[in-house]
Structure 1
Amino acid sequence: MNTIDKIAWIHVKNGQVLCARSRGQESFYLPGGKRDPGESDKSTLIREIAEELSVQIELDTIKFFGIFEAEAHGKSKDIKVKMTCYTASFTGTLSPASEIEELAWLNYKDLDLVSQVSQKIFEQLYALKWLE
């Protein structure tokens, strides 16, 4: 089985988690992306969030949240995605950039709007009472 290795940022505010939707896609996902060769998790997180959301992650606030795996959305059944998630503070104003068409604050009732791996993350956030 092939695995897509991604880094994701979990940013929760008022019982909702920040999600993004790429141009031409219907599903939302947690912001982040694939690491470049030799790039660390933290460097990937900082780069991807700056590219996608136009904000700067504060390095000293990055905290590991968990690793989640599921079938990759929109791919063949033999491809899964592994998402390593972090929380962190940021500076700047959130604004969609690069391939991102829309940002949305989603809560637990919005499970049907996100990919399978994001659903697993939403389940964990809900169990921790971070999501409404």
Structure 2
Amino acid sequence: MRSTTSVRALVIGTAAVAALGGLAGVSSATPGTGVSAKLLFQKTVGDKDYVVREITIQPGGETGWHFHDGRVYGVVRSGTLTHYDDTCSVDGVYRPGESISEPNGSDYVHIGRNHGTTPMVLEVLYVNPAGAPLSRDADAPACER
């Protein structure tokens, strides 16, 4: 789901706060194949965790089927992200400078893939319930089995 440029401003603004406030420890997300993540910022405010990560998916790589307990906002920095919903249909193709927003909940199982020939780099802001994992693994939908 494409979002407005305010998502980009939110991600960039949160990264700026990270530069001013220091960096936190390692994240506990489970990567798919060819995926790496670098934690840029993490802070808990009230009952919410705010986490900024740079996610890289190598050519042919994928995130694995998953969902999030909180909202996710991202901006593609390089490469192309192809995003699939639980019907195995492409629900978005995102190129450099484009933003993505993902709703929360187990009813929004999805996967991100890099079908390109260069690494795809995505800067992501997670707005999660405090203490919740950044993502939860999900079984592949019937259309992929």
What TM-score comes out, normalization by structure 2 length? 0.26
What TM-score comes out, normalization by structure 1 length? 0.27
Q: Which has the larger radius of gyration?
A: 2
More strand by share: 2
